[in-house]
């Protein structure tokens, strides 16, 4: 396999252990593919028709996405061209990968709900939650890194988000007097479903460190989630070590269970096999990054 030499040998072995040979081949082909630019229309400031019209005026071709009316795949322009457009400058669109748009949709946030985004920077999912709730939820956006928190603040302002409060805090240290109606935990991970695998920082040590953080963050999330309420656990990893194994470990200690993700949200999304029924793992392809999602309800 041409790509086999380009990905770390330890990752190749993990994939071989976890998936059948034909699936490993598919994943490796997905890593190789150059993904097009994808954008999300920011409905706080505009609507799909206005954006389409402005793109067409600029001779920019796009394709729609079946499962998300607010997403467009840009066919003939790169990041630099899109960033020069007025719709980008005004925060009417947001550059976001398709896979990362899935968690807020599956979370189903509603107006008036108290929602926590546990690892919020740079703000793609936070701004998406604000847009879905018409800027009428109460969002707490957590980010422990000061520089990343500044980037988050900038993006929230640019996108016209008025309903979010930024906490420069490690979400694992949140006081337990907090309680939330919904939580999005897009956990820090190795990025094994993304281009990150070509980075020298992508190591077995990174996976181990990520696992520890993921377990601690999911435990904290379930402690501060209100009983009977739901949360999303997601990563841009396709390794069970960072996904199913973390969930099984935490759910063995806390009273919570998996809520099966409704397949009507998954039109045309390429999926990998999973160990926990009702969770999903997106396969890396020419359009998608590898991504894992589980919806959990606290008992």
Distance CA 235, CA 172 (A): 17
What would the two tokens of residue 225 be? Answer: 């989630």
Tell me the β-bridge partners of 183. 116, 231
- Of 169, 76, 154, 67, the C-alpha closest to 117 is 169
Tell me the β-bridge partners of 295. 232, 259
Distance CA 41, CA 49 (A): 10
Please list, residue by residue across 212-241, b when 16 or more beta carbons sit within 10 angstroms of its beta carbon and e when fewer do: ebbbbbbebbbebbeeebbbbbbbbbbbbb
Q: What are phi and psi of 41, to 5 degrees?
A: -75, 130
- Of 164, 169, 167, the C-alpha closest to 124 is 164
Identified catalytic residue from 163, 189, 236, 283:
236
The helix/strand/coil state of 240 is helix
Active site residue 236: yes
Q: Is there a cis peptide before residue 210, judged by omega within 30 degrees of 0?
A: no
The helix/strand/coil state of 180 is strand
Distance CA 178, CA 118 (A): 13
Any idea which residues carry the catalytic annotation? 236
């Amino acid at each position: 396999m041409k790509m086999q030499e380009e990905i770390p040998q330890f990752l190749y072995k993990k994939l071989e252990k976890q998936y059948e040979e034909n699936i490993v081949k598919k994943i490796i082909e997905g890593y190789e593919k150059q993904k097009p630019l994808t954008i999300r229309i920011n409905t706080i400031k505009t609507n799909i028709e206005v954006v389409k019209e402005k793109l067409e005026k600029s001779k920019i071709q796009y394709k729609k996405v079946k499962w998300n009316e607010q997403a467009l795949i840009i066919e003939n322009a790169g990041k630099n061209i899109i960033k020069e457009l007025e719709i980008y400058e005004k925060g009417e669109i947001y550059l976001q990968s398709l896979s990362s748009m899935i968690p807020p949709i599956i979370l189903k946030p509603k107006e008036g709900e108290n929602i926590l985004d546990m690892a919020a920077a740079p703000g793609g999912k936070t701004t998406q939650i604000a847009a879905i709730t018409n800027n009428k939820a109460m969002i707490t956006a957590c980010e422990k890194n000061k520089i990343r928190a500044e980037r988050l603040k900038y993006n929230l302002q640019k996108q016209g988000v008025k309903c979010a409060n930024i906490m420069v805090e490690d979400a694992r240290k949140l006081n337990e007097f907090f309680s939330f109606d919904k939580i999005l935990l897009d956990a820090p991970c190795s990025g094994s479903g993304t281009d990150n695998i070509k980075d020298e920082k992508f190591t077995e040590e990174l996976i181990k460190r990520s696992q520890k953080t993921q377990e601690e963050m999911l435990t904290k999330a379930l402690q501060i989630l209100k009983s009977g309420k739901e949360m999303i656990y997601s990563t841009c990893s396709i390794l069970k070590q960072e996904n199913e194994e973390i969930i099984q470990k935490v759910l063995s200690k806390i009273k919570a269970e998996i809520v099966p993700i409704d397949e009507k949200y998954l039109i045309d999304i390429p999926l990998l096999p999973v160990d926990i029924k009702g969770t999903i793992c997106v396969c890396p392809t020419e359009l998608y990054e590898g991504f894992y999602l589980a919806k959990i309800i606290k008992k």
